[in-house]
A and B are shown apart, each in its own frame.
Chain A
Amino acid sequence: DIQMTQSPSVLSASVGDRVTLSCKASQNINKNLDWYQQKLGEAPKLLIYFTNNLQTGIPSRFSGSGSGTDYTLTISSLQPEDVATYYCYQYNSGNTFGAGTKLELK
């Protein structure tokens, strides 16, 4: 089974910061990766699909990149409403979520 490792597990940043979240797969997942945002008490929300495609309605400050085993979610200018846990999710072989990165305000 493919394992997904997210880092860091917790990230503290200030409003306006550029924030980068990482996700590493245990084998090549051919860009078959999504990013989800989950706020406390809510269902997850799709942000990015197939590595770098912005879901409709998601602010353009969110972007995704990567290939092979290494993937990144970037928030260009952190906003207070971005406080949440972020999960990567691969569907290349089986389906696996990463353990999540909890994003906090400094």
Chain B
Amino acid sequence: QVQLKESGPGLVQPSQTLSLTCTVSGLSLTSNSVSWIRQPPGKGLEWMGVIWSNGGTDYNSAIKSRLSISRDTSKSQVFLKMNSLQTEDTAMYFCARDTMGITYWGQGVMVTVSS
């Protein structure tokens, strides 16, 4: 049974760095790609970036300078780090298996950027 679960702080101060973890079970990170997708309250979906099964990464050009995605295959975890957070980064953050479509999604973690 494939499961993804996001974890991280619910509140981040402006200008600080967001660190999120996606813990995966039921699939291998060396055979599957994982994307991060976010959704501001009441708004649409934004693809943030992907870590491919070979460990390579691609990022949304709009946030590329602030974003880093990495993984620890031994722990079945994928990490997101984004710096210089602003209020407009307030959103639900999802990790998802991105192979032949985004087929499995985590429940999401709500991150609020506020002082």
Contacts and interface: CB of A to CB of B under 8 A. Distances in A.
Contact of B107 (A38, A43, A95, A97): A43
Contact of A87 (B44, B105, B108): B44
A46 B106 CA distance: 13
Given A1-B61, A43-B108, A95-B50, A100 B44 contact: yes
A55 B102 CA distance: 11
Interface residues of A, number: 20
B53 to A, nearest CB: 15
A46 B101 contact: yes
Contact of B45 (A46, A87, A94): A87
A34 B60 CA distance: 18
B35 interface: yes
B102 A89 contact: yes
